[in-house]
Chain A
């Protein structure tokens, strides 16, 4: 069955290292969202794309975070350099439609720990 996949599922890294998280949206979906979840802040929207174009990345710290969609089957979220405060679960979600938020299907998340 169709589902959003994310890799890696877990990542432990040291402060200062680059981290790349990948997301494969459901085939045919044209919107992709990146979220971050922490105990303190809960769920936060980092960025989202429609038809591979970035529509909003205001939730991302611009100096260290970047999000791209090289093609329709791959979305990436990079952190460089990583910091301990970036430790969180990062979710990717995909959907289809013309409005900002239609029904979304979430990936399993990438649990990032920055030491």
Chain B
């Protein structure tokens, strides 16, 4: 069993759609991170959160500590949002989800 589970694995959306990617974890954590990996391979840290919600532009990340669940939302999706989104949980160890591959079609 993976300590961090992401869903869906793959997601295709039309430009403008609201997108949600989910992350569930089974271990105690100090922080939950969302990473974005572009087709070229570069990785960008989007959010680090330990409670509540954070917003940056069209991206919103939420976490529910009791339910051990986090979501990444993208509002008004755009083709440039096409990337792999990786959830990572950190506590005593580091655990990575397997990623969600998002394709936004114009």
Mark A residues whose CB is within 8 Å of B.
Answer: 42-45, 59, 89, 91, 93, 99-106, 108-109, 111
Contacts and interface: CB of A to CB of B under 8 A. Distances in A.
Contacts of A111: 41
Q: Specify which of A44, A91, A106 lies most central, judged by the most chain B CB atoms within 10 Å of its CB.
A: A106
Given A99-B30, A102-B48, A43 B41 contact: no
A104 B45 contact: yes
Chain B, interface size: which category? 10 to 19
B96 A42 contact: yes
A106 B48 contact: no
B41 A89 contact: yes
B80 to A, nearest CB: 18
Given A42-B99, A44-B96, 5 more contacts: A91-B43, A99-B30, A101-B31, A103-B48, A111-B41
B69 interface: no
Nearest to B98: A42
B88 A43 contact: yes
Interface in B42-76: 42-45, 48
Interface in B72-106: 86, 88, 90, 94, 96-99
A101 B48 contact: yes
For chain A, what secondary structure do more than half of its interface residues adopt (helix, strand, loop), or is it mixed? strand
A23 to B, nearest CB: 14
B90 A43 contact: no
16 contacts: A42-B96, A42-B97, A42-B98, A44-B96, A45-B94, A89-B41, A93-B45, A100-B30, A101-B31, A101-B33, A103-B45, A103-B48, A105-B45, A106-B44, A106-B45, A109-B43
Nearest to A101: B90
A95 to B, nearest CB: 9
A91 B42 CA distance: 9
